[in-house]
Amino acid sequence: MYIVAFMYPSAAGNVFNYDHFVNVHLPLGVGLTEKYLGIKPEKIVVYTPITGGDGESSSSPYSAISSVYFKSEKDAKAFSTLFTYEEAARRLSEDFANYTPGAPDLIISRVHELADMDGMIRDFQNSEAA
């Protein structure tokens, strides 16, 4: 799997409108991706920082991070070109102000899923015993 991650910087006083992002911006982006590139993501995962149990604010440098998953590197790279299409660039950029104060940082990555926690614990225990 491959992802294109959008990282929305946080700053004092800035509010990230999660509902608008999920209900308006993401459908707009997925629709424009299908329209111009003929591809669609496998899934989208959105991460938002949580506050501490005592009501303390998060110190995360990002208000939100969204990871858009694709099966192939080719599709992930193609997706990263969406802003080369005038309509897509204009409509997505114009919508930023509705949920975030500015454009996100972007990274394209290969996903490495490590799910064998029991194996990791065994490796740790074996290294401790050595």
Tell me: the pLDDT tens digits for 102-117?
Answer: 889 999 999 999 999 9
Tell me: the pLDDT tens digits for 87-97?
Answer: 999 999 999 99
Domain residue ranges in the chain:
2-129
Tell me: the pLDDT tens digits for 25-75?
Answer: 999 999 999 999 999 999 999 998 886 545 455 678 888 999 999 999 999
**Helices and strands in the chain: count of H runs, count of E runs:** 5, 4
Query: The whole model's pTM is what?
Result: 0.85
Q: How far apart are CA 72 and CA 2, in angstroms?
A: 6
Q: Which CATH architecture does the domain made up of 2-129 adopt?
A: 2-Layer Sandwich (3.30)
